[in-house]
């Protein structure tokens, strides 16, 4: 960004840093011949091991840093409940909308 050279552009003490660390030992990351191409064509969000935003670790080794495992389980369960409520309110028939899967899986 224009005028932000003192805060951005390199990894140094005192500068803002948004980083992701990628697990290179996953099947979809092999062979890792050209890193920029691999990041675009081979990698997915599931390959992110660690996420750092503005120098703060948000996720480390695929675990959220600021919540306990039990808080994470409760959050995921609440998210599932909200998703089910949304599907119900939208009057979506999941059995009917997923029927195409059973036709092609035969």
3-class DSSP state of 42 = coil
Domains of the chain and CATH, by start:
1-66 (2.30.40.10), 67-106 (no CATH)
82: number of Cβ within 10 Å: 10
With 70 as the cut, is the pLDDT of residue 3 above it?
A: no
φ, ψ of residue 21 to 5 degrees: the values are -105, 130
pLDDT, position 78: 97
With 60 as the cut, is the pLDDT of residue 106 above it?
A: no
User: What is the 8-class DSSP label of residue 30?
Assistant: -
Q: What mean pLDDT do residues 37-41 have?
A: 92
Q: The pTM is what?
A: 0.59
pLDDT, position 38: 92
Q: How far apart are CA 87 and CA 81, in angstroms?
A: 10
With 90 as the cut, is the pLDDT of residue 7 above it?
A: no
Q: Which residues contact 55 (CB under 8 A, 6 or more apart)?
A: 16, 17
């Amino acid at each position: 960004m224009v005028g932000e050279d003192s805060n951005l552009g390199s990894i140094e003490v005192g500068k803002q840093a948004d980083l992701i660390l990628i697990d290179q030992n996953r099947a979809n990351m092999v062979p890792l011949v050209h890193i920029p191409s691999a990041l675009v064509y081979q990698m997915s969000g599931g390959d992110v091991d660690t996420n750092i935003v503005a120098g703060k670790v948000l996720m480390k080794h695929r675990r959220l840093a600021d919540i306990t495992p039990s808080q994470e389980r409760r959050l995921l369960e609440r998210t599932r409940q909200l998703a089910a409520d949304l599907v119900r309110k939208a009057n979506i028939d999941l059995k009917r909308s997923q029927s195409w899967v059973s036709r092609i899986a035969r």
